[in-house]
Amino acid sequence: MSPRRRDSASTAAARAERRAELLAAAAEVFALRGYAVTTVREVADAAGILGGSLYYHFDSKESMADEILSAFLTDMWAAYEEVLDAGLGARETFRALIGASFQTIDHHRPAVVIYQNESKHLTTNPRFSYLLDSQQRFREVWLSVLDRGVLDGELRADLDTGLIYRFIRDTVWVAASWYRNDGPLSADEIARQYLAMVLEGILQPKEF
């Protein structure tokens, strides 16, 4: 590689790294304060740069939110698809999807919070229509796994799968509001304990 190309590649890599740092700062501010009320100036302050300098990397606050949410969903669906392509039974697919969900929270916690808090507002903008598509696909995937579990006799047939889906969705993803990757429990351990509570319950078995 010529010196000019090396310099160009190095500059591009540095810019990409800086862009990722700015997105991480924006995600934290959006998650903490709320996307709608956060200004570009506040994002710039959090990133330690002048407001005008932020426009060198992004043309709008909307562009930042778009990249943050797109990256989160791309990673989540890649993890989900790996599980779904593994050919596991319904119970093991259920377990693996829960694990993948907590790993996604671990890697994209601020983005998950933004997704939960801001999706209703953002989906009024055609640019974010993919959020609705993802929500529908998410529901279909989970209901398919749950319905297969009932048919295979691995899950209780007396429970409504739509209700189970809502319970799983709401109890798992709300963890992003309190989860910290430096906390006492890792994402894998939280997933294990969630699965124990869901599949085994929290009551001690009675001894006879």
Set out the domains of the chain in order of their start, with CATH numbers: 1-59 (1.10.10.60), 60-208 (1.10.357.10)
Over 80: is that where the pLDDT of 207 sits? no
pLDDT in tens, 94-107: 999 999 999 999 99
CA distances from 103 to 16, 77, 139, 190, 194 (A): 24, 12, 19, 10, 13
Rounded to a whole number of angstroms, the CA Rg of the chain reads: 21
Contact, 99 vs 199, CB < 8 A? no
pTM greater than 0.85 (yes/no):
yes
Look at 48-57, 146-155, 175-184 and tell me which has the smallest mean pLDDT.
48-57
Higher pLDDT, 75 or 203: 75
Contact, 43 vs 29, CB < 8 A? yes
The rounded percent of the chain whose pLDDT value lies above 70 is 90
pLDDT at 19: 83
